Homo-oligomer: A and B are copies of this chain.
Amino acid sequence: MSERVTAERVIPEGGRRRRRPTKQGAVLSERLIVETALRLVAQHGAEALSVRRLGAALGADPSALYRYFRNTDALLLALADELIGRAQEGWRATGDWREDLRSMGLRIHACYLSHPQAAVLGAYRTTGRPHETAAVERILGILAAAGFPAPFAVRAYHAFIDQALAFAAQDAAALALPKAAREADEAVWNSVYGRLSADTHPHIAAAFPLLAADMRGSGYPFALELLLAAMAVALPAAAGS
């Protein structure tokens, strides 16, 4: 009795042979699906992304997607990797590690914010896809060239990338909130924090104007600056760029 190998439903991207159009005339591909999904999310919000709706947007039966992605999770990872790739497009190293890390961090942050709905879905995943590994390699390269010893470089890399992604996801989530909820959250600064008594909350009362102004923007640029400053301090003087 021969052990029958279960036929894998998903054909890896290289091995595809047929390009049969759907009833509605669309010719599917991994690339088309990812782009359609991003467009769907951008136009109708993160909650609009379902296999059924994506199928409809593509002009195909929902189940056809399972020929390209094992499940929705695999699709999400593809979306996340696409975002990472777009963040790196056209990035050039200057040779100054601090400037390079700064520009890369700000790029990642900005790119995710420009697709907030998709960013929320993918920012906390490890995809292992090409764009991701390229980014990891690049950042480790910057740190190595700067002269950081390997154990420190690894921890610094971890802190740097997680902080970039975490802030990106957080700011994206705030942006992706339903309009009513977002406005309500912003109004809290004036309606609650602006009216706290100096007796019970002296420091908030004293700092309020500065605070309300600063909290309107993202905390990421300054947090990144602090991170880079701490790394510069830790860099052995002999290896300084």
Contact = CB atoms under 8 A, between A and B. Distances in A.
Contacts of A193: 128, 133, 136
A153 B230 CA distance: 17
Contacts of A165: 170
Contact of A230 (B140, B155, B177, B227): B227
Contacts of A204: 133, 136-137, 140
A69 to B, nearest CB: 13
A214 interface: yes
Contacts of A229: 230, 233-234
Nearest to A217: B158
A241 interface: no
Given A128-B192, A193-B128, A123 B163 contact: no
A201 interface: yes
Interface in A124-158: 124-128, 133, 136-137, 140-141, 144, 150-151, 153-158
A126 B185 contact: yes
A210 B154 contact: yes
Contact of A233 (B126, B180, B219, B230): B230
Nearest to A175: B124
A214 B165 CA distance: 17
A159 B201 contact: no
Interface string A151-188: 10111111101110111011101100110110011101
Given A124-B173, A185-B125, A204-B137, A151 B230 contact: no
Q: Which 8 A-B pairs have the closest CB atoms?
A: A162-B219, A128-B192, A140-B203, A128-B188, A226-B230, A159-B223, A166-B166, A166-B170
A66 interface: no
A206 B162 contact: no
A162 to B, nearest CB: 3
Contacts of A196: 133
